[in-house]
Amino acid sequence: MKVETELFGATFQSPVLLAAGTCGFGMELSDVLDLDALGGFVTKSVTLEARRGNPPPRVAEFEGGMLNSIGLANPGLEGTRRDKLPWIKNNVRRAQVFVSVAGHRVEEYLALVEGLDGEEGFLGFEINLSCPNDTKRGGAPFALDPEAVAKVLSGCRERTRRPILAKLAPNDPNLEHTAKVATEAGADGLTLVNTLPGILLDGHGRPELGAGPGGMSGPALRPAGLLAVRRARAATHLPLVGVGGVGSGADAVAYARAGAHLVEVGTASFAEPRASQRIVRELQRWGRRHGVGRWEDLVAPSPSNTMED
Ligand code: RRO
């Protein structure tokens, strides 16, 4: 099966990318993984100021996956410009890179896009509107506030011609509406989904994570991710990026059948750093076995009567 796919004016050598927050800025994984074997990767979310993140423990496992509250630990705009993007520019050739940006206020997103747009080494932005661990916003991410989604994305649109992905939340009761708002505000694609808010408690009722609650990911997130992609597919013609519990070629196929043009692998690559490469091999085998010649043929189209029309 031909897994190469053209999107956002670029060639993705495969539809399998690494998800934000699971691969740092690429350099952190370069000893264990050939980054250029990937379709691409999304960086850790960058905020205006560098952040140290939340108190440990920041991750905990359970049978269905894991919970994290990293708290946006990142080198900030200046550190990203100085140390991270030059490394990517010099070391990544074929993988397509998206820089994830996040903030507490609309203006922070806009300043980040403006401050990064002139740099080299990446294709586009993933606008993280759905971090579940941003306590300053009281656990209510931008993605659940359509007015904020519109403001952030239209402001970003004015500041860059690069592709913009909007990363939305799994617990959005009005996802179709949010997808439509993001489309109208100028996003080029939607990434679905971020982690789902949750908490793990020990026998004394004490949270297992230092910060208390966190975001749940891994196999248990897959049904939520698939549903979100399906719902968004009915609401917009934009390309969709499916994330949540992708651990096999069959999972990637399920996301394509739901309407995803690309998938991102997250939690699976913690236990198995080269999971993404295995997933691509499984996809190719799946195509041979089922007589499907191109990944693109698997991607469910949006209905002609999407809610956009
Ligand atoms: O840094 C985090 O704690 C984090 C972020 Br920004 C996010 O978007 N999703 C997540 O599960 N953790």
d(CA 183, ligand 1 centre) in Å? 23
Closest-CA residue to 17 (of 72, 84, 92, 97): 97
Tell me which residues are annotated as active site.
131
Within 6 A (CB) of ligand 1 lie 21, 45, 68-72, 102, 128, 131-133, 194-195, 215
Q: How long, in residues, is the chain? A: 309
User: pLDDT per residue over 253-289, tens digit each?
Assistant: 999 999 999 999 999 999 999 999 999 999 999 999 9
Share of the chain above pLDDT 90, in %: 94
Q: Whose CA is nearest to atom 1 of ligand 1?
A: 72
d(CA 218, ligand 1 centre) in Å? 14
**pLDDT score of 140:** 79
> CB of 111 within 8 A of CB of 139?
no
User: pLDDT per residue over 205-220, tens digit each?
Assistant: 999 999 999 999 999 9
Give the nearest ligand 1 atom to 45 CA.
6
Q: What is the mean pLDDT of each run of 10 residues along the chain (309 residues)?
A: 97 98 96 95 98 97 98 97 98 98 96 98 98 72 96 98 98 98 98 97 98 97 98 98 98 98 97 96 97 97 71
d(CA 133, ligand 1 centre) in Å? 6
**pLDDT score of 308:** 55
Long-range contacts of 49-56 (CB under 8 A, 24+ apart): 49/76, 49/77, 50/74, 50/75, 50/76, 50/78, 50/79, 51/76, 54/133, 54/209, 54/210, 54/211, 55/210, 55/211, 56/210
**pLDDT score of 132:** 87
d(CA 69, ligand 1 centre) in Å? 6
Give the nearest ligand 1 atom to 74 CA.
1
**pLDDT score of 134:** 74
> CB of 245 within 8 A of CB of 221?
yes
